[in-house]
Structure 1
Amino acid sequence: MTRAVDFTVVGEQKIHCAGCEARIGGALRRIPGVRHVAASAHTQRVVVTINPAQVTPEQVGAKLEELGYEVTPSGNSP
C-alpha cells in the first residue's frame, strides 16, 4: 500500500530550477520506502509517494529540511 504525501516549501530557500527538483528527487528516492517524487519549482510543492510501512511523512519532511528547505505538510492523502 502506498500513500501520497504533499509538502509546500515555505522558507526563504526555494526550489528555483530543474536542478533543484532533481536534487530533491535524488535525495528522497534514496530513502527506503519512497516510491515516487515530484518536486515543482513552479508550485513550490513536493509530492512524495511512500510505503508507510517503511517510511513516515515526518522522515521525508526531515530530509527536505536537511536539504535546506523549510516545508509544511499540505493536502496529505490518508
Structure 2
Amino acid sequence: MALNLKFNVTGAEKIHCESCEERIGRALKRLPGVEDVQASAKEQRVSVSIDPKRTNAEQVQARLQQIGYEVKLGDAA
C-alpha cells in the first residue's frame, strides 16, 4: 500500500514554474519505490506517493536537497 508524503518547500530556492515542477517529478521518479509525484509552484509543496518497502521520506527529502530544494516533511497519509 502506498504512503503519501507532503513536503513543504522552506528554503530560498522555490518552485517557480512548470519546468521546475517537471524537474522535481523526473528526479524523484528515478528513486526506486516512488510511484507518483505532484509538485506545485502555487502551493510550494511536493506530494509523493511511495512504496514504503522500497524507499522512505528521508530518501525523498535527500533527493530534493540534491536538486536544490530545502523541504520539510508535512502531513503523511
User: Scaled by the length of structure 2, what TM-score is found?
Assistant: 0.98
Q: Summarize deviations over 1:11-50 as a string: whole Å, max 9, x none.
A: 0000000000000000100111000000000000000000
- What is the count of residue pairs matched by the alignment? 77
What is the RMSD of the two structures over their aligned residues, measured on CA atoms? 0.4
Please list, as runs of the form range in 1=range in 2, the aligned pairs for 1:10-49 lying within 5 A after superposition. 10-49=10-49
Query: d(CA) in 1 for partners of 2:37 and 2:7?
Result: 11
Aligned to 2:63, the other structure's residue is in SS state: helix
Structure 2: stretches of 5+ with no match in the other structure = none
- Large movers: runs of 4+ above 3 Å: none
User: Scaled by the length of structure 1, what TM-score is found?
Assistant: 0.97
Report whether the alignment pairs 1:72 with 2:72. yes
Structure holding more strand per residue: 2
